[in-house]
Amino acid sequence: MPSRSLVLAALVTVALVSVGAFWFGFGGTHEHARVTITDGKGTTLGMVSARVADTPAARYKGLSGTSSLANGSGMWFVFDGEANRTFVMRDMNYPLDLVFVGANGRITAVFHAPTEPPPYHAYKARAKWVLEVPEGWTTAHGVSVGDETVAVYAS
């Protein structure tokens, strides 16, 4: 017969999965995430294989200094909670689309960010997560404010 703690742990896990906590990055540090964006009807608009930036150092560095970003790939920035976020294109060699996502998983803003010298333009919106993808990806996939994101993490 299973121990009480094992049964309790199983029940807590089922409860967390049922409310989507694991889908939105509950617990732990991860290296990669598969981010799926759907519209209001549940139709998949696109999927991105993303590197995860979930520490202050990783979020600060982001994609700075990289030479390119393949189509279908990106970076998924993870924060502890939803707040006003500001992103800049520091030391970027190519333009990006920035997708700000609220704590409810819905997209709050989409920006098309060209490369630029200092002083950098600040892209600001409320978000718990931010997805960076190659320039034009959001337009090509019809991604817009109000669409929903789901991130499944892998180490």
pLDDT in tens, 36-78: 999 999 999 999 999 999 999 999 999 998 999 999 999 999 9
Q: Which domains does the chain have, with CATH numbers?
A: 30-154 (2.60.120.1140)
pLDDT tier at 154, thresholds 50, 70, 90: confident
Q: Using CA atoms, how far apart are residues 63 and 92, in angstroms rounded to an integer?
A: 7
Would the pLDDT of 8 be above 60?
A: no
Higher pLDDT, 155 or 104: 104
Q: Using CA atoms, how far apart are residues 35 and 40, in angstroms rounded to an integer?
A: 16
Element spanning 15, H or E: helix 4-18
* Cβ burial 45-72 (10 Å sphere, 16+ → b, else e): bbebebbbbbeeeebeebbeeeeebeee
Higher pLDDT, 14 or 153: 153
Query: What pLDDT is stored for residue 13 in this prediction?
Result: 39
Query: What pLDDT is stored for residue 4 in this prediction?
Result: 57
pLDDT tier at 112, thresholds 50, 70, 90: very high
Using a 10 angstrom Cβ sphere, with 0-12 exposed, 13-18 middle and 19 or more buried, the burial of residue 10 is exposed
Q: Between vectors from CA 113 to CA 112 and to CA 119, what angle results, nearest 5°?
A: 150
Interstrand relation of 32-38 and 73-87 (parallel, antiparallel or unpaired): unpaired
Q: Centre a 10 Å sphere on the Cβ of residue 73 and count the other Cβ atoms it contains.
A: 16
The predicted model scores a pTM of 0.80
Average pLDDT over every residue of 79-90? 96
Strands (E), 39-137: 44-53, 73-87, 96-101, 107-113, 123-134
Query: What pLDDT is stored for residue 22 in this prediction?
Result: 35
Cα→Cα distances 87→10, 46, 92, 111, Å: 39, 23, 12, 10
Q: Using CA atoms, how far apart are residues 89 and 105, in angstroms rounded to an integer?
A: 24
SS3 56: helix
